Structure 1
């Protein structure tokens, strides 16, 4: 961050209520239409907004997408479907390395764990949730709130669990509660994914940077009743794609921002969450890289994990850099002081809201007292791998499903169970050798951070070495078989109690301590934060009104801006790259080696075709796969990254330097036809323009 820039910016520009330039990730029921009209001469009406809402798609695992044809074709990023591509691969057919294209509809293959959600309706349920918690605090507040949210979701889903998903979403950190009703597609099939070498061209050196030359594209198709889903709303491709200075809107599902946190919460985020996590990720990178050198197959099966670790290290490192900048904390303290002064100016507000900051700060200190065991026992930091994750799902699922819906852990409510069972019964392969390495590493960390004399550590390890225990557990478990997992799930508590599977036995052993830590966190930290951030949200809404946008919550948002480069230390960064630029940047070595398909197609390609571009839209992680659309609701690009400055966007927005990085829509069609011979889907995308 440029400290001189921060000092020069006025408090009004960066106040939480300001929405200058491209700032803001707005919910579609509270769009800043007057500001959009004033700045760009465009005021989306109800019809436009509803169409955009139903054309956007969420990948429930953590990405965004959009319908781009009436036959359920979904556009997203390669890195958003990468897990599916890896799950469908084998040692003989590596689709991550070689790419995938379904030449016919019959060749489209179901992704084992991808669920697609289309948002159909948003309903305000604030008063209902707040009435349920009125006058309560601590554990009683937490239980009442979770019970009411579960009740609302169950009523919303009704009997249509297979096709309906409902989530009560907390906005403004408790100022507003909205019920999001989704149409659920659990049959998502892979249509196209290019080679990873072009989807992630430039690798880690270019990640979160620009210029970029990436075809980070993945195509899925939503199916219902075994047939391609028919959808009325979709985004057709623009004839020209993104143009310089053009107004751009990004419809996506940003995962999480922390722009409205208190200073005490930001301190905790930096010291307790980010720094330890980055240290852990650095160790995991070394462990996985060492494992990958053991064989070609080890390198293949660990590649997805290594990709995720590298990406997280860079993304979280950028967030830490922002929170280590004194100027940003000075800004946050100033914002907090302004809101405190507003509250103090009214005796009524001071009585209702004045103690909120101190209560939240005290909760952060309480969390520091037990955060390590919480992360390693309840958070599974000491029990890595798919086998243990599934064992915990089975053990907890049996216990929770026996309770009334409103008393269950949130992830096991009736509304949530279809997503749980989709992953639990998935046919995705599990690799025992990698599982043994991951579990052995995490058990070693558990002993290191809690101490060899810790009672819980001794209960888990006994007299075993962590690596040897992991090997024995992995060798003895049968949870790699989906049929075994389904039998345990269907058998309920009796089947879990009777099971002699060693991974189930481990999950049973861990669960009591894990539940106690979770209970403590929910009552001493989470409930305190939720109750008091509701007070702060009320104060913000009273002071700033509708100029406030909520922090990101992995719900559908619209950000608006324009195609625009930036000034980097006196050097202008142009907004576009071209296909020819990719060939100029290429070398004979990874990560700058183009795939053979591109080398062969070079004579046919239009080198002047725009490839990637940047815009000043406000985005964050979770926006990956979002469509970039124009005011006609046509696709002009596909978001896949942000520049390095955008990583601080978790905590504040710098309109001068934050940029969203996207694939140009023209490059998508150019390469589908001329590199991959994917005429079927290219024709479908272009034909959709005349069908809307």
Structure 2
């Protein structure tokens, strides 16, 4: 480094340090803060330039009113006509269902230049948080004198259901859900408004929206245009209504202002969203269970499934499209889980948790009053997890079997329907059949949408072979019945699969729709080996349920006690784990050092797209128009001056997890400057632990969104609707 460069570098570091001190910067702490906790924060000191009341105002309109939960992701309203921005991957399943070989929106993208051209986003709804209320006293009051774990858990679940029913009776326009904020300790009633008619407006070309594919997934630097636009519709009177040509765009209470100028490094930013699940307030045994069983089993299984489905998709375009969503979901999970495994081992979180738990045990034993109440807590937790670990392989197999094999899912629906039908008095069977047939058809039709015979056959064969190798204390009874005392389980399973798939009529959708479920008599009389296999699996799940419920009840009480005593030990209240309820997280646009001598800057640019495109990896193919525009320096007003390029993605130290996909990234004024879509590979363990040094989240920069919309897809009408000047 020459002298001039060194001086410049030192000056930059000094200015950053001064800026941090002036803004009240402190070593960053984790936090996915519930609405109830926002008032405790000093966001002004952190860098917020608007009132915290403008973020959440329980007595008026605020930014949270612009947030929606869409298809398990987060989205935000960005116009008064119900326009929503979220991630490309959040719209993926709806785009797949709308695609055909003739109109392959999945590959080519989709742009609706008018409301009339917008198409139904099948399977997606919008859920808006209306209000919330702490109901912990009501829930726990119902079990104050109950010690039996199974009864306790049942009474808690009954209390939750009663509270939800009562809330919906008071206001039929809402959907009520009681969420467990701390397991066995705190419960909050959330009231939601649901919009049923959601439509696709603009989805970019897959080479943009999924640029980098699985090669780049869960990694940085990223160059993915992971965004899409949808629109919410309601009935003319403003009430929620299913898809109809008569519906009109929804007018939200609040929508976000889009700031096309984006951000700079070290700018204050915050996110509102619906993060899924985190498990940071769990003991060492839970983390060890994840590391030893859950993460390796699921990631390896999904790897096999994806290889099988990708090979099946090579047959024709129709099959490729049908399986695309399953493949994408699996791939996302398996890479995430392998990142978690690497992260857990890298920081040796199990050992850290063991040290924390040992210190907690010492605290309990050193205090007479605490010991009197919690003296057996740590031993009870350990004993419970010995039981859980003893059944781990069987439990994971039973958890995954129905999601793995489509025809088994169809068989499950058929068997469940047959059982319910058989329970009806003879005189009522036909009426029951006619009343419930539409729902049955809807369920199995959803399964057939992603069904491929060859893939299904190979995946089920693997599942049965895996089960045949379980030890005798964890048997899958239906599989043991097939293999018997055979010395060659693989051959027996292979023969069973070949015969079963050859003979079952469930593979024929025409037969299922037009014959099997045509009458009560037809469905009652049908049987085959696949239905028998499913019945055996279902019977065992039912038999195991009482013990599973007992363990859940024990765990519920132990984890509530664990958090209670840990708060006493740490002398502070914890932020509850994420649970798909609305949360806030905040931080700064900031790079990091993932490894020695490898600083990662917080912005990527179009130049990086072109550079990756020279590697020969098809996942880095991009539309030729991008190079043409870049070489002409046709950036419009969306370039970042110090980069002399359009920023594609940005990095920040906020606390996010699954469910935050699509969350709006907002600046100090509450303006939209990006859309969250991922985490860096080291941050995949955010579900279990967060640390400012390695936890980085990734979003698509709003300047790239606007540039692509304007320059690539000629969607300037959307920029106009968002109030962005071209």
Q: Report TM bin, short chain.
A: 0.7 to 0.9
Deviations 1:217-240 (A, max 9, x none): 011111212221111112111242
Q: Does 1:101 align with 2:111?
A: yes
Q: Choose which of 589, 612, 617 in structure 2 pairs with 1:585.
A: 612
Please give the alpha-carbon distance, in whole angstroms, between the structure 2 residues aligned to 1:116 and 1:495: 39
C-alpha distance in 1 between matches for 2:182 and 2:312 = 43
3-state secondary structure, aligned to 1:29:
helix
Structure 2 distance, partners of 1:451, 1:623, is: 39
Q: How far did 1:249 drift?
A: 0.5
Aligned positions of 1:20-31 closer than 5 A: 20-31=27-38
Partner secondary structure for residue 58 of structure 1: strand
CA 53–472 in structure 1, closer or farther in 2 if over 3 Å, else same = farther
Q: Paired residue for 1:466, among 487, 494, 497? A: 497
Name the counterpart of 1:573. Answer: 600
Which residue, out of 655, 661, 678, partners 1:618? Answer: 655
2:660 counterpart of 1:649: no
Call closer, same or farther: CA 1:549–1:88 in 2, change over 3 Å.
Answer: same
User: What is the Cα deviation at residue 288 of structure 1?
Assistant: 2.4
Q: Is the 8 A contact 1:72 1:223 kept in 2?
A: yes
Asked if 1:118 corresponds to 2:135, the answer is: no
Are 2:285 and 1:264 aligned?
yes
Would the alpha carbon gap of residues 83 and 128 (structure 1) be closer, same or farther in structure 2, given more than 3 Å must change? same
Measure, in 2, the Cα distance between the counterparts of 1:104 and 1:113: 22
**Residues 188 and 222, structure 1, Cα contact 8 Å, conserved in 2:** yes
- Quick check: 461-470 or 72-81, which moved more? 461-470
Between 1 and 2, higher relative CO (CA 8 Å, sep ≥ 6) is seen in 1
Q: 1: distance between equivalents of 2:624 and 2:503?
A: 43
In structure 2, relative to structure 1, the CA distance for the partners of 1:130 and 1:495 (3 Å cut) is farther
Show CA shifts across 1:17-38 (max 9, x none): xx94152111111126444344
1:498 aligns with 2:524: yes
Match of 1:538 in 2: 564
Map of 1:389 onto structure 2: 409
Q: CA deviation at 1:460?
A: 7.2
**Which residue, 620, 638, 641 being the options, matches 2:675?**
638
State the 1:265 CA deviation.
1.2
Displacement of 1:193 in angstroms is 0.9
CA pair 52-386 structure 1, distance change in 2 beyond 3 A? farther
Aligned equivalent of 2:248, options 227, 245, 254: 227
Q: Could you say if the C-alpha distance between residues 473 and 27 of structure 1 is closer, same or farther in structure 2, counting changes exceeding 3 Å?
A: farther
User: Quick check: 1:110–1:188 contact (8 Å CA) kept in 2?
Assistant: yes
Could you say which residue in structure 2 is the equivalent of 1:450? 468
For residues 507 and 147 of structure 1, the distance between their equivalents in structure 2, rounded to whole angstroms, comes to: 29
Q: 1:433 to 1:669 in 2, by over 3 A?
A: closer
Are the counterparts in 2 of residues 22 and 561 from structure 1 also a CA contact under 8 Å? no
Following the alignment from structure 1 to structure 2, what is the Cα–Cα distance between the partners of residues 38 and 344? 40
Q: Deviations over 1:349-400 (max 9, x none)?
A: 32223322222222222123333333333x2426624454355457558979
Distance 1:542 1:589, change over 3 A: closer
Q: CA deviation at 1:303?
A: 2.8
Q: 1:43–1:668: structure 2 CA closer, same or farther, 3 Å change rule?
A: closer
> Contact (CA 8 Å) 1:87, 1:428: kept in 2 or not?
no
Are the equivalent residues in 2 in contact too, given 1:174–1:537 (CA < 8 A)?
no
Distance 2:678 2:342 in 1: 18
> Contact between 2:406 and 2:451, CA under 8 Å: does it hold in 1?
no
Cα distance, 1:432–1:658 mapped onto 2, change above 3 Å: closer
* 1:179 maps to 2:189: yes
- For residue 246 of structure 1, report the CA deviation from its aligned partner: 1.1
Q: Secondary structure at the match of 1:166?
A: strand
Counterpart pick for 1:300 among 309, 314, 321: 321
Matched with 2:353 is: 332
Q: Deviations over 1:405-454 (max 9, x none)?
A: xxxxxxxxxxxxxxx96994697683586155225422441243235996
> How far apart, in 2, do the equivalents of 1:513 and 1:160 lie?
40
What's the counterpart of residue 65 of structure 1? 75
Contact residue 628 and residue 637 of structure 1 kept, 8 A: yes
Q: Structure 2 residue aligned with 1:291, among 301, 312, 335? A: 312
CA spacing shift, 1:266–1:67, aligned 2, 3 Å: same
Query: SS of 1:591's equivalent?
Result: helix
Please state how far the C-alpha of 1:545 moved relative to its aligned partner: 6.2
Deviation of the 1:314 alpha carbon? 1.4
- The answer to whether the 8 Å contact 1:22/1:616 transfers is no
Q: Does 1:514 align with 2:541?
A: yes
Matches within 5 A, 1:225-374: 225=235, 226-325=247-346, 327-374=348-395
Separation in 2, partners of 1:483, 1:120? 43
Closer, same or farther in 2 for the Cα pair 1:459/1:121, shift >3 Å? farther
Residue aligning to 2:623? 595
Distance 1:401 1:53 in 2: 45
Aligned to 1:46: 53
Distance (Å, rounded) in 2 between the aligned partners of 1:474 and 1:584: 51
State the 1:111 CA deviation: 1.7
> TM-score when scaled to structure 2?
0.81
Cα offset, 1:533, TM superposition: 0.5
Measure the CA separation in 2 of the matches of 1:448 and 1:645: 31
Q: Is 2:413–2:443's contact at 8 Å kept on the other side of the alignment? A: no
1:155 maps to which residue?
166
Alignment deviations for residues 585-633 of structure 1 (CA, whole Å, 9 cap, x no partner): 3236511110245356554435622221101111112211111012322
Q: Which runs of 5+ in 2 are unaligned?
A: 1-25, 236-246, 424-437, 485-491, 640-644
Distance 1:657 1:376, change over 3 A: closer
1:609 matched residue in structure 2: 646
Q: What is the deviation of 1:280? A: 1.5
Structure 1 stretch displaced more, 236-245 or 186-195 = 236-245
Query: Could you tell me how far apart the structure 2 residues matched to 1:520 and 1:443 are?
Result: 29
Following TM superposition, by how much is the alpha carbon of 1:83 offset from its aligned partner in structure 2, in angstroms? 0.8
Residue 79 of structure 1 deviates from its aligned partner by: 0.7
Q: For the residues of structure 1 that align with 2:259 and 2:588, how far apart are their CA atoms?
A: 16
Equivalent residues of 2:322, 2:450 under 8 A apart: no
1:140 corresponds in structure 2 to: 151
Equivalent residues, number: 646
1:548 positional shift: 1.6
Q: Deviations over 1:86-118 (max 9, x none)?
A: 111112221111011112111111122112211
Partner of 1:629 in structure 2? 666
CA contact (8 A) 2:83 2:231 kept: yes
Q: For each residue in 1:94-151, what CA deviation from the matched residue of structure 2 results, as whole angstroms up to 9, or x when unmatched?
A: 1111011112111111122112211111111111111222323332122212111111
Q: Pairwise CA RMSD of aligned residues? A: 3.4
Aligned in 2, Cα 1:357/1:267: closer, same or farther, shift over 3 Å? same
| 1:519-556, Cα deviation, whole Å (9 max, x unpaired) | 32222x22111111111122234445665211121221
Secondary structure, aligned partner of 1:661: strand
Deviations 1:203-257 (A, max 9, x none): 2222222221111001111121222111111211124222221111111122222
Mapped partners of 1:617, 1:434: distance in 2: 40
Other-structure match for 1:14 = none
Alignment partners' CA distance in 1, 2:198 and 2:510: 24
- Indicate the structure (1 or 2) with the bigger Cα radius of gyration: 2
